[in-house]
Amino acid sequence: MLIQDSTIIRLHKSLAKKFPAARSRTVAAGAKVGMLVSAVANSPKSIGIFAESTNELKTLRIGPWVKDRILLIDLGFYKHQLFARIKKNGGYFVSRLKASADPFIVDVYNTCRGNSIDVKGKYISEILSKLKRQILDVEVEISFKRRKYNGKERMDTERFRLVAVFNDEEEKYHVYLTNISKDDLMPEDVAKLYGARWDIELIFKELKSRYDLDIVNTRNPQIIEAYIWIAILTLFISRRIYNIVRRHSPKEKMARYTQLRWSTIFTENASDQLTLILRYYGVERTFETVMNVYQSQALDPHVNRERFREEWWS
């Protein structure tokens, strides 16, 4: 089960040509980090760095790799053509239905007792506000444009499953589009499955709040990419140790190792981890080695900059 999403890192405006921001920003720069995350392993499977202005759909390429995998699709990636490609390649998807989409109902999977309205042969916009049932589970047909071929663009249709689950807190239906069979997943479970998308939001929060993904104080594009990859590599190391800790813990305690709490403990003890790694390679951390790090890293890299303290207290 995979989740695709992206996060934005704000950059200095002088980088606007290389990393142009979204259309709403005129003189600004930003990098978009696109990530495909495994919801099972809770770790990135693929990563890409793009300009902020890059369309979300261009950060996700569908191919044979999607076979027998489930993609949880954000509305930013919503496109019927994309869903058709996933289906063609033997993959599966779950997405919230876009507000402007209006699928045509061709079959009904669940039946309701009482005076329930007939939904077959109608568009979803015609019946959604009239529904009284808790769950709607139907097959729908959607029309969409295929990619241009030889300069020509043709219309096509595809059938998917539509599930609407009434949310008591918000007092409205949450509507999902999928190609997972009703025999494989109950309607309520479709909604629960989509809730796993929250995992990638937690990963981005972890990257920014714990591993300094969005602290990029440079105008050098190569250094910017280095900063981004350092944060991501830190996440990989953190996840590797996290999985080892959980694996060696009693089953009843495994769920209590939450990601954000783990990332806090990991960063607070990173220095101890470095000591163990250095010792493995025969390097001992002593007072002298620590002082050498302080002396080299604490130096201001701007050699010719005038300093107030230099005149008065040097």
Q: Kindly list the distances between the CA atom of residue 313 and the CA atoms of 46, 201, 304, 305, 310, in Å, as whole numbers in the listed order.
A: 52, 49, 18, 16, 6
Q: What is the pLDDT of residues 262-282, one digit of tens each?
A: 999 999 998 888 888 889 999
Which band of pLDDT confidence, cut at 50, 70 and 90, is reported for residue 193? very high
Residue with tokens 């042969």: 121
What pLDDT score does 53 carry? 92
Residue 233 has pLDDT above 60, yes or no: yes
Which band of pLDDT confidence, cut at 50, 70 and 90, is reported for residue 314? low
Distance of CA 42 to the CA centre of its chain: 11
Whole-prediction pTM value? 0.80
- Rounded to the nearest integer, the mean pLDDT of the chain is 88
Q: Please give the Cα distance from 21 to 74 (Å, whole number).
A: 21
Strands 70-73 and 2-11 come out as parallel
- What is the per-residue DSSP string for 151-202? TB--EEEEEEEEEEEEETTTTEEEEEEE-S-TTTS-HHHHHHHHGGGHHHHH
What pLDDT score does 297 carry? 81
Residue 311 has pLDDT above 70, yes or no: no
Do the beta carbons of residue 101 and residue 125 sit within 8 Å?
no
Residue 114 has pLDDT above 60, yes or no: no
Q: Please give the Cα distance from 85 to 88 (Å, whole number).
A: 5
Do the beta carbons of residue 155 and residue 133 sit within 8 Å?
no
For the chain, the farthest-separated pair of C-alpha atoms sits apart, in whole angstroms, at: 89
* Among 84-88, 89-93, 253-257, the least confident range: 253-257
Q: What are phi and psi of 32, to 5 degrees?
A: -110, 125
Q: What is the pLDDT of residues 287-304, one digit of tens each?
A: 888 888 888 888 877 777
Q: What is the pLDDT of residues 132-187, one digit of tens each?
A: 888 999 999 998 887 766 667 778 899 999 999 998 888 899 999 999 999 999 99
What pLDDT score does 26 carry? 66
> Helices (DSSP H) in 175-280: which residue ranges?
187-194, 198-209, 221-247, 251-254, 259-268, 270-280
Written as six digits, the tokens of 16 are: 């606007």
What pLDDT score does 180 carry? 96
Q: What is the pLDDT of residues 17-74, one digit of tens each?
A: 899 998 666 668 999 999 999 887 778 889 999 999 999 989 998 999 999 999 999 9
What pLDDT score does 130 carry? 86
Do the beta carbons of residue 177 and residue 139 sit within 8 Å?
no
Q: Please give the Cα distance from 97 to 174 (Å, whole number).
A: 8
